[in-house]
Amino acid sequence: MEKKVLIYDTTLRDGTQAEGVSVSVEDKLRITEKLDSFGVHYIEAGWPGSNPKDMTYFKEVKKLNIKNSKITAFGSTRRASLKVEEDQQIQDLLRAETPVITIFGKSWDLHVTEALKTTLEKNLEMIFSSIEYLKRFTDEVIFDAEHFFDGYKANPEYAIEVLRTAQQAGADYLVLCDTNGGTLPNEIDQIFKAVKEAGITAKLGIHAHNDSDTAVWTSITAVLNGAVMIHGTINGIGERCGNANLCSIIPNLSLKLGYETVPRENIKRLKEISNFVSDIVNMPVPKNMPYVGDSAFAHKGGVHASAVLKTPRSYEHILPEEVGNRRKVLVSDLAGKSNIVYKARELGIEIDEKDERITKLVQEIKELENQGYHYEAAEGSLELLVRKHLGTLGKYFDLDAYRVLIARRYTDLTPISEATVRIKIKNEYEHTASLGHGPVNALDRALKKALINRYPSLAEVELIDYKVRIVNESGGTAAKIRVLIESRDRDKKWGTVGVSDNIIEASWQAVVDSIIYKLVKDGIKPLEEENG
- In this predicted structure, the answer to whether residue 478 has a pLDDT above a threshold of 60 is no
pLDDT in tens, 137-172: 999 999 999 999 999 999 999 999 999 999 999 999
Beta pairing class for 42-46 and 229-232: unpaired
User: Nearest-5° angle of CA 430, CA 435, CA 436?
Assistant: 120
- Cα separation of 272 and 280, whole Å? 12
Residue 225's pLDDT is what? 97
- In this predicted structure, the answer to whether residue 333 has a pLDDT above a threshold of 80 is no
**Residue 233 gets which letter from DSSP?**
B
- In this predicted structure, the answer to whether residue 71 has a pLDDT above a threshold of 50 is yes
pLDDT in tens, 391-413: 889 899 999 999 999 998 888 88
CATH top class, domain 398-531: alpha beta
Share of the chain above pLDDT 90, in %: 72
- In this predicted structure, the answer to whether residue 373 has a pLDDT above a threshold of 90 is no
- In this predicted structure, the answer to whether residue 317 has a pLDDT above a threshold of 50 is yes
Residue 363's pLDDT is what? 83
- Quick one: fold of 6-281? TIM Barrel (3.20.20)
- Cα separation of 94 and 83, whole Å? 15
For 474, counting Cβ atoms within 10 Å of its Cβ (0-12 exposed, 13-18 middle, 19+ buried), the class is exposed
- Cα separation of 240 and 389, whole Å? 44
For 176, counting Cβ atoms within 10 Å of its Cβ (0-12 exposed, 13-18 middle, 19+ buried), the class is buried
Residue 479's pLDDT is what? 74
Q: Where are the chain's structural domains?
A: 6-281, 298-373, 398-531
- Which one, of 333, 259, 326, lies nearest residue 291 by Cα? 326
Give Cα separations from 127 to 83, 121, 123, 174, 428 (angstroms).
12, 10, 6, 12, 71
pLDDT in tens, 87-136: 999 999 999 999 999 999 999 999 999 989 999 999 999 999 999 999 99
- In this predicted structure, the answer to whether residue 475 has a pLDDT above a threshold of 60 is no
pTM: 0.72
**Any idea which of 13-22, 300-309, 477-486 has the lowest mean pLDDT?**
300-309
- In this predicted structure, the answer to whether residue 211 has a pLDDT above a threshold of 90 is yes
